[in-house]
Amino acid sequence: MSELDEAWAAALRDAEQKARLAGRRDVADYLSLKNSNDLLRKAGIDWLLNSFDVQAGMANRSGSAIQITRELGYRFKVGNSTMVGTLLTLLSGVRTLYVEAGWPRTPRDGIVRGGGLACANIRHLGLKNASDELRLMKSNKGAPTWTITSRHSKHELLEADVRRHLSILIDKK
């Protein structure tokens, strides 16, 4: 967690405590829900990005030469909304795979459609049909799950999907 994220979380906790002490249960409940959802978003995004990191590392140990970079505070559009989060770039030869994940941080940024917590895109440079759009959804299992919401597929993102994207990246055809 960055220093700014830590400061923001601390400010939310303080605001929630002050609202409770002032008898503003409605405000305190909202801030508690926001904090809980932000923790779920962070955990879901960390899992997604780490899944790609791990699979790229395994590919590199098997002889691939994937270069990995991360950009924090990255902004990207999903529909009319702006997501703020992280961009993971995987480069292999002339092929590039982008994994961008985040959520709207201010009212001006918009919303996550479909009741999701966060959005992500897995984009293959020059291979639009191989790309996927994702939504982070609350689940009955406790942990949030990424759901592929692309027009050609709608299912929970699995490790096999991550491996498929990496195999497209390192395909030597």
Each domain of the chain, given as residue ranges in start order, spans 49-170
pLDDT higher than 60, residue 1: no
> What is the rounded average pLDDT for all residues in the chain?
85
Calculate Rg over the CA atoms of the chain.
Answer: 18
Report the distance separating Cα 58 and Cα 126, nearest Å: 24
Q: Is the separation of the CB atoms in 149 and 137 below 8 Å?
A: no
pTM across the whole model: 0.83
Report the distance separating Cα 69 and Cα 160, nearest Å: 22
Residue 173 has a pLDDT of 44
φ and ψ of 64, to 5 deg: -75, 165
Grouping H, G, I as helix, E, B as strand and the rest as coil, residue 70 is strand
Give every CB contact of residue 64 below 8 A, 6+ residues apart in sequence. Answer: 56, 92, 170
φ and ψ of 111, to 5 deg: -135, 165
Lowest-confidence region among 67-81, 93-107, 133-147: 133-147
Instruction: For residue 12, give both structure tokens.
Output: 């939310």
Lowest-confidence region among 8-22, 66-80, 152-166: 8-22
φ and ψ of 157, to 5 deg: -70, 125
The proportion of the chain whose per-residue pLDDT surpasses 90, expressed as a percent, equals 46
Report the distance separating Cα 163 and Cα 142, nearest Å: 25
Please give the single-letter amino acid code of residue 158: L
Q: Residues 18-64: pLDDT tens digits?
A: 777 788 777 776 766 677 778 888 999 999 999 999 999 999 999 89
Residue 151 has a pLDDT of 67
Grouping H, G, I as helix, E, B as strand and the rest as coil, residue 41 is helix
Residue 153: pLDDT band with limits 50, 70, 90:
low
Region 158-169 average pLDDT: 93
Please give the single-letter amino acid code of residue 31: L
